Amino acid sequence: MVLKEAWKKRIKFQDRALFFDHDYATEILQKRKEYITIKKALKERGIRFQTPLSRLRVHWESGPRTYESAQEAADELNRRGIQIETSRGSVPGIEERLQKTLPWQRVGNSEDTAVRAKQRLQGFQRK
């Protein structure tokens, strides 16, 4: 309700217009950013579309269709003759996000670690 009122009224701060938007989670914002090139292409061609949260709904002549990912939508647009390029894997997975937030980082690969551990353990082997 607050956003609705803010959208109705033009608000300025230091002679610049302020714009308000929903407070989305980081993951949803990243997924929404993936659709930017697709939305631009649809807008240029006058094709109606909506972006509910992290999806894209396109209103084709044959009826509306909802896409779960930007890549899925880009593939469909390419099939329909609208050339779109999207970057694959631009939204980091949970493992990448965890690696960034953890205070420690892995050094070397697991094969090196296994070899070093085996060498150390051989010193304790019974003869």
pLDDT tens, per residue, the chain with 127 residues = 777 777 788 888 888 888 777 778 888 888 888 899 999 999 999 999 998 888 999 999 999 999 998 899 999 999 999 888 765 555 566 667 777 777 776 666 667 778 888 888 888 888 7
pTM: 0.54
CATH number, domain 24-92, options 3.30.250, 3.40.630, 3.30.310, 3.30.1380: 3.30.250
Domain boundaries, the chain: 24-92
Structure tokens at 65: 């269709």
In contact, 35 and 51? CB cutoff 8 Å: yes
Which three-class secondary structure state does DSSP give residue 126? coil
Residue 7 and residue 121: Cα distance in Å, rounded? 68
Residues β-bridged to residue 23: none
Query: Which residue type, as a one-letter code, is found at position 107?
Result: V
DSSP structure class, residue 62: T
